């Protein structure tokens, strides 16, 4: 069964550094999402992406965040200058048949 | 703002019993609700979707109800097993405006279910 994959599974970075989280959505899906989950809290929407542009973004998704689909398969989330409060699980999802398929997540730890 | 609330207290039940989880929402009338399972350190996994015109939906040992008057969905697992132990998330899909807006899922905080053998 096709699945969404994410790399790395765990990323440790120092405050102020840039990180890029990578996702490979399911191949025939057209709508892509990033969500995050701070430990012990709700899964929160960050951004949706369709037709090579941002469709909607939340208040969390400020100028430090960007998304890109650099080729036909990858979908990336970049955080330009990480803060301690960016520490969370980041989930990529793609939409197909009315259902969002989530990847296993990247645990980002900012020290 | 739209809110979706689940019982944050863990639910502990004995194997073989029926687990019932509650999801309440306010300030929105979703066209459908979804239930997901999340294991520790993993992404949510889709279980069931129920539309506003459906009172009940079943899938194997799972049953979901949707009461638009009470603004509530109930999620039942019958004949529960220790392998059902996980956090269960309720979510509604908020559609966006315009043809290119893909919308987003708004999640509750989840209820952790522990099934004891």
Contacts of A5 (CB under 8 A, 6+ apart): A23, A24, A103, A104
At B102 the pLDDT is 63
Helix (H, G, I), strand (E, B) or coil at B89: strand
At B62 the pLDDT is 98
Average the pLDDT over B96-100 and give the result: 50
Strand partners, B63: B58, B76
Of A50, A104, A105, the CB nearest to B102: A50
**Are the C-beta atoms of A23 and A32 separated by less than 8 Å?**
yes
pLDDT band for position B32 (50/70/90)?
confident
A101: chain B residues, CB-CB within 8 Å: 46
Closest Cα in chain A, distance from residue B104 (Å)? 7
B45 touches chain A (CB under 8 A): yes
A13-29 pLDDT per residue, tens: 999 999 999 999 999 89
Out of A62-76, A83-97, B25-39, least confident range = B25-39
What's the DSSP call for residue B30?
A: -
Decide if pLDDT at A108 tops 70.
Answer: yes
Cβ-defined contact of A45 to B105 (cutoff 8 Å) = yes
Cβ-defined contact of B107 to A98 (cutoff 8 Å) = no
């Amino acid at each position: 069964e096709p699945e969404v994959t994410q790399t790395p599974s765990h990323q440790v970075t120092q405050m102020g550094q840039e990180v890029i989280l990578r996702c490979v959505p399911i191949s025939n899906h057209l709508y892509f999402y990033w969500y995050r989950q701070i430990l012990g809290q709700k899964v929160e929407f960050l951004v949706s992406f369709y037709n090579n542009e941002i469709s909607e973004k939340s208040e969390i998704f400020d100028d430090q965040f960007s998304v890109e689909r650099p080729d036909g398969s990858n979908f990336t989330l970049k955080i330009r200058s990480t803060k301690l409060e960016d520490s969370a699980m980041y989930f990529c999802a793609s939409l197909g048949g009315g259902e969002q398929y989530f990847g296993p997540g990247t645990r980002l730890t900012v020290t | 703002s739209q809110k979706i609330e689940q019982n944050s207290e863990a639910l502990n039940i004995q194997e073989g019993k029926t687990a019932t989880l509650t999801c309440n929402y306010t300030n929105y009338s979703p066209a459908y609700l979804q239930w997901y399972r999340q294991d520790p350190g993993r992404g949510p996994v889709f279980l069931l979707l129920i539309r506003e015109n459906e009172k009940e939906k079943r899938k194997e040992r799972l049953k979901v109800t949707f009461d638009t008057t009470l603004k509530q969905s109930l999620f039942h697992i019958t004949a529960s097993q220790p392998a059902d132990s996980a956090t269960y998330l309720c979510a509604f899909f908020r559609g966006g405006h315009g043809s290119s807006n893909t919308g987003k899922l708004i999640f509750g905080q989840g209820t952790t279910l522990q099934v004891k053998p």
